[in-house]
Amino acid sequence: MNLSFHRLAKLAAIIAFCVIVLGAWVRLSHAGLGCPDWPGCYGQLTWPEATHEIDTANQAFPERPFESTKAWREMVHRYLAGILMLLVFALSWKSWRGSQADSSFRLWTTALVILIIFQALLGMWTVTLKLKPIIVMAHLLGGLTSFSMLLWLVFSSRYPVSGRPAMAVRRMHSAIAAGIAVLALQIALGGWTSANYAALACPDVPMCTGQWWPETNFREGFILWREVGVDYEGGILDQQSRVAVHLAHRIGAVVTLIVLGVLAMRLSRIPQLRTGGRLLMTLLLAQFTLGVLNVALFLPLANAIAHNAGAALLLATLLGLLNKSSTQSY
């Protein structure tokens, strides 16, 4: 089937979103080390199933006995990420060998190939370095960056429209870009919170352990690089450090709510951006609610996964608005 560049980019963006959501499911269900080796699983192309394969796996990795539910989740995630890599390679090939219109995306697709290869290395290091927090967070941010670049290709390769956006639309470009920066910082804080198992460091809301400002250790909580060889599954930070990480994410959530809320209201006043502004406000309120429910309901798996998906959808909405407010015509 001969897919156009736009359709291929759209398919890759959808797969990238699925990889992000599936990765959240793997991480939050504690299956990140469901396969302690890479790229296979206990030496298998898929995962051990027969009794003798499981026995061999347990002998090879006595420190991490085989668990079927964790292993297949991790491998399905790897397979889907592999499909995404092939799609990115296909996009790059199409930009270099396809039509003249496709050739304008060569820089983007080449950067995507480099990023997706680095993302695969981060996936390997996530396993081999035993969920080292900085690697886990970088892997999350790399996935969202890949998703963002694919979305930009989708928006930029649409059927061209004539004329430039209205002046009122173009004036919102910088504000939307600032909103993306704020959201990116908040996503990074969320990734750091998750990687350090600090999501329930404050088990109550709006206070934290019954206090508005409990004892914290921000210096220890935000040491980015720690020793290699430690098993970081379950987290190694003490309570005060985890509280510091959690509170930073909470404060960031309030700042993000205010900044993006004001932006959504401004967008809603502009006819051409009204739909996007309303969608942004809806997703923003839903995301904030999911964050509160994560604490109030003690991090239910479905809710936590939805919170990760919500961050990706917020990013996608802002990128669509940024593209629409661009001075170029697509």
Q: How confident is the model at residue 161 (pLDDT cuts 50, 70, 90)?
A: low
pLDDT attached to residue 109: 97
| Averaged confidence pLDDT in the chain | 94
pLDDT, tens digit, 9 for 90 and up, residues 177-190: 999 999 999 999 99
pLDDT, tens digit, 9 for 90 and up, residues 47-101: 999 999 999 999 999 999 999 999 999 999 999 999 999 999 999 999 999 888 8
pLDDT attached to residue 326: 86
Residue 293 CA to its chain's centroid (Å)? 20
pLDDT, tens digit, 9 for 90 and up, residues 192-236: 999 999 999 999 999 999 999 999 999 999 999 999 889 999 999
Q: Are 109 and 92 in contact (CB under 8 A)?
A: yes
Q: Where are the domains of the chain?
A: 1-159, 162-330
Q: Per the omega criterion (within 30 degrees of 0), is the bond before 160 cis?
A: no
Mean pLDDT of 290-294: 97
pLDDT attached to residue 263: 98
pLDDT attached to residue 250: 98
Mean pLDDT of 295-300: 96
Phi, psi values for residue 108, rounded to 5°: -65, -50
Residue 263 CA to its chain's centroid (Å)? 22
Q: Is the pLDDT of residue 265 over 60?
A: yes
pLDDT attached to residue 177: 97
| pTM of the shown model | 0.94
Overall residue count recorded for the chain in this entry: 330
Mean pLDDT of 16-20: 98
Mind telling me the catalytic residues? 74
Of the ranges 28-32, 101-105, 199-203, 238-242, which one carries the lowest mean pLDDT score?
A: 101-105
Contacts 24+ apart (CB under 8 A), 206-215: 208/243, 208/246, 208/247, 208/250, 209/243, 213/247, 214/240, 214/243, 215/240, 215/243
**Both structure tokens of 295:** 């604490």
